[in-house]
Amino acid sequence: MSIINFNLTQPLEKKISRVIREEGFISKAEFFRFIAWRYLEDTKDDISQEELDVSVRELTKTIEKKFKGKKLPSLEEQLAGI
């Protein structure tokens, strides 16, 4: 996986941080990966199986790291506020 660095203006960074908090993203990296995937989906760009496999592995690592040793709430509990 490659690393991408770029600068954000202060107002944009504040807005992004607010969205990350409100929408439950665990990091800025997760947020930007989501935005990239969403853009590619919206433009109907075909994604290779290899790219999909890499993303699934990375998401799996993130989930395992965040919830390691913790009991995940049931689906009913997760969707209770909807």
* Residue partners of 49: CB distance under 8 A and separation at least 6: none
* Residue partners of 1: CB distance under 8 A and separation at least 6: 54, 58
How far is residue 16 from each of residues 21, 30, 31, measured CA to CA in Å?
A: 9, 12, 9
The overall pTM is greater than 0.75: no
Using the predicted structure, report yes or no on whether residue 61 has a pLDDT greater than 90: no
Quote the percentage of the chain above a pLDDT of 70.
Answer: 95
Task: Please give the average per-residue pLDDT across 60-81, as a whole number.
Answer: 81
Tell how many helices (H) and how many strands (E) occur in the chain.
Answer: 4, 0
